[in-house]
Structure 1
Amino acid sequence: MNRKYRLLPSDSIIVGSRTLYRVQALRDVSEGVVHGTLGGYIECEANLSHAGRAWVADSATIYQNAVVSGNALVQGHAVVRGSSSVADDARVYGYAQVATNARISERAAVFDNAIVSGKACIAGDAIVYGRSSVHDGHVFGRAHVRGNAVVLGSARIKDFNDISTFDGIGPRASVVTAYRTGDGSVEVVCTGFRGSLAQFRLRVQADHGARRKDKAGWALLGLANLIEFQFSG
């Protein structure tokens, strides 16, 4: 095996109970990573493949059973941990986190403060950013998950039109996320609620009743109508 990097025992950090070591390139890896370039931190060589152009840069960390391979790049202050993987030409950067069994592949990108976890799969040209989170869902194609969106396991988002996020809704200024699921239906997620659009309407009616002066209730029912319209195409 033509080793791509070495671990530097003299340059390490402690994450929880684990010791991570900075990597240093032993050969030219890519245009920006040449022999002698210092990278980010990994726990062991199983975390970063010696094949391809895969690299960890800056203060980014890869540990536990996580694997970065192919031509993938993890940089900034990003964290890849658990049994997750970042492969192909995928990128994870900023303060993003990829955890548990999540898979980031093809040309997908996860950045800013986004969190991808569970058995989530992010692929194609999809991007996940802002303060959004994807747990178990599938995001692929040209999809964008952004802002404060919350995407859960039944999601199957392949395009811009498969997800909508609404901020500052109701008296609690809740974030409401609506997205397409694997069976083609629409699921709605907000504080204390996850269910179908019909269930969302029933929940609003139960919480706010039919009081004509309840502006929050009318606003939420109006939002339900907007979601239905947006996903009707």
Structure 2
Amino acid sequence: MGKLKEIRFVYAGSGISISEEGDNDFTAHISKTRKISIKQGKQFTPENLHKIYQMADSGNMVFSNDSSLGYLVLNPLRKPTKEYINSLTDEVIQLSVETVDGKEYVCTRDGHVFSDSPNKFRDIPHISNPEDKKYMLTSYTKEYDGQTLYRIRALKDFGSVKAGELGGYVAGEHNLSQYGNSWIQTDSKVFNLAYVGDNAIVRKSIMYGNAKAIENCRIIHTTMYGDSVIKGFAISNNSYIYHKSVICGESRVSGHLAFEGIIKDKVFIKDPGARITGNGIEISDEVQISENVKIDGHAKIRGKSRIMGNSEITDYAEISGEAIIKDNVCVGGKSRIWDNVILCGDVKVSGRALIRENASLYDKVLVSDAVEICGEAKIKDNAIIAGCSIVRGYAKVSGDAIITDYAQITSHAQIRGHAQIKGNAQLTEFVCICENSRIEGNVVLSGDTIVKGNTHISTQEQANKVIKPCISKTSSNEITL
């Protein structure tokens, strides 16, 4: 028979480290999840190897400090048999009773020691379940909004819920499905005709009216009412969802009001200042909305558009593609913003305006009526674009310029200062109209032409006098914007 050797078990943060008499260092370890690892080449005596497996299978150690009761070093072995209900927060904590060195400790699932006296906590009741129900209504009740709500308790394991676990409050079994993995967690209330089904999870939220949470959605710190529906893999956090809102797909919604809207696919709405209060709104694809954005009316937003700042999208406006809208931009009417458009500053777009491709608008630009702005066009400062005018190509408009009626600004044309372009005027190539010049009527201006001062052109005859042949494909005689 071999010589007996002393064995040491020592707390090691992530579990228990082990050494045997004669070792220069620790030669084995038991993880918090009770997995054993032994240093390569090390051979414990049979007696000590048995003690190691016994410690992993049924033993434990308590790590404590002066400020608390401490923790079990290894995860608890036994299923929870006790529960603690916080009278202030209504939070429920399930507790296991573990024995260490002949002494009983009451601890949480992760090993936090609550007490050394199991009698301080009430037992989780053993309830028969002949109908194989998912949950039951308990005698724990709460008065809320003029009605009695009943706390639910799981009758069997499903999803991440364990048998005996307490959940939130319902008015009756019609509020939570007896099938699937759906669950109403602690401190949530679901009543009236509100319904939670499939695999939906509701946490710290209130649902009432005809609200529905179904499929794989997650409802967190949210108030839902009216005929609102959240489904798919959608997540709602710190939100108010009401009336006829529908949120679905893989959308992420946080801190906003949704009103008769549809939010789907991978929409991401964040920040507590965002407000969606429209009537028939549709938001889809991978849209991102943040900060203090306001959306109402029948607006449709899709693609990978990003809307931020204090921007407002109203009426029947449509935003799509990878458009960026920020600062204090206001888009309304039946205007359409497509592709890679950038709008920032105090830009206002209304009417039936169409802005697409790589166009960009900055500062206090005003766009209205049936305007089309496209290509690489850049508009900034206090410029006004109205009527049925078109600005496209690499055209640039700045200053207090006004373009209206059926005017067309194309190619590399530049309009700036207090210039006004009206009527059926067509400006192309490297034309530059600046200062107080006015171009109107059925006029065509092209080439490397500069019009400035107080010049007023209203006929083609007048235009021909200032037209110069284009001598450069890449630059104008005037400084570009």
- TM above 0.5, yes or no, is yes
Aligned to 1:13: none
Amino acid at match of 1:119: R
Deviations 1:74-105 (A, max 9, x none): 11000000110111111111100101101001
Q: Does residue 293 of structure 2 align to residue 72 of structure 1?
A: no
Distance across 1 between alignment mates of 2:232 and 2:469 = 54
Residues 5 and 126 from structure 1, CA distance in 2 versus in 1: closer, same or farther, beyond 3 angstroms?
A: farther
How far does residue 176 in structure 1 lie from its aligned partner after superposition? 3.0
Q: Does residue 2 of structure 2 align to residue 2 of structure 1?
A: no
Deviations 1:137-181 (A, max 9, x none): 1011111111111001322211233x433x4xxxxxxx3335883
Aligned to 2:402: 177
How far does residue 46 in structure 1 lie from its aligned partner after superposition? 4.4
Residues 4 and 111 from structure 1, CA distance in 2 versus in 1: closer, same or farther, beyond 3 angstroms?
A: farther
Distance across 2 between alignment mates of 1:53 and 1:77 = 20
Q: How does 1:151-230 map to 2 (within 5 A)?
A: 151-161=385-395, 163-165=396-398, 167=399, 175-178=400-403, 181=407, 194-195=422-423, 200=438, 219-221=453-455
Residues 192 and 70 from structure 1, CA distance in 2 versus in 1: closer, same or farther, beyond 3 angstroms?
A: closer
Distance across 1 between alignment mates of 2:330 and 2:363 = 12
Amino acid at match of 2:334: N
Aligned to 2:322: 89
Q: Does residue 388 of structure 2 align to residue 147 of structure 1?
A: no
Q: Does residue 354 of structure 2 align to residue 121 of structure 1?
A: yes
Assess if the C-alpha contact under 8 Å between 2:366 and 2:382 holds in 1.
yes
- Unaligned 5+ segments in structure 2 are 1-230, 242-254, 427-436, 441-451, 471-481
Residues 82 and 231 from structure 1, CA distance in 2 versus in 1: closer, same or farther, beyond 3 angstroms?
A: farther
Assess if the C-alpha contact under 8 Å between 1:5 and 1:27 holds in 2.
no
Assess if the C-alpha contact under 8 Å between 2:374 and 2:391 holds in 1.
yes
Amino acid at match of 2:385: V
Deviations 1:94-120 (A, max 9, x none): 100101101001111111000111000
Q: Secondary structure at the match of 2:454?
A: helix
More helix per residue:
1
Distance across 2 between alignment mates of 1:92 and 1:230 = 38
How far does residue 4 in structure 1 lie from its aligned partner after superposition? 3.9
Distance across 2 between alignment mates of 1:232 and 1:178 = 24
Assess if the C-alpha contact under 8 Å between 1:58 and 1:75 holds in 2.
yes
Q: Secondary structure at the match of 2:455?
A: helix
Distance across 2 between alignment mates of 1:176 and 1:65 = 32
How far does residue 132 in structure 1 lie from its aligned partner after superposition? 0.6
Q: Secondary structure at the match of 1:160?
A: coil
Aligned to 1:133: 366
Indicate the larger mover: 122-131 or 150-159.
150-159
Which residue of 41, 52, 57 maps to 2:290? Answer: 57
Distance across 1 between alignment mates of 2:287 and 2:361 = 20
RMSD: 4.5
Assess if the C-alpha contact under 8 Å between 1:134 and 1:152 holds in 2.
yes
Distance across 2 between alignment mates of 1:2 and 1:48 = 16
Q: How many residues align?
A: 192
Assess if the C-alpha contact under 8 Å between 1:84 and 1:103 holds in 2.
yes
Deviations 1:7-52 (A, max 9, x none): 8229xxxxxxxxxx7169x99958xx59xx5462101594342x42
Assess if the C-alpha contact under 8 Å between 1:141 and 1:158 holds in 2.
yes
Distance across 1 between alignment mates of 2:365 and 2:409 = 23
Q: Secondary structure at the match of 2:240?
A: strand
Residues 222 and 194 from structure 1, CA distance in 2 versus in 1: closer, same or farther, beyond 3 angstroms?
A: closer
Amino acid at match of 2:365: S
Q: How does 1:11-30 map to 2 (within 5 A)?
A: 22=256, 29=266
Residues 74 and 4 from structure 1, CA distance in 2 versus in 1: closer, same or farther, beyond 3 angstroms?
A: farther
Residues 143 and 183 from structure 1, CA distance in 2 versus in 1: closer, same or farther, beyond 3 angstroms?
A: closer
Rg comparison, structure with higher value: 2
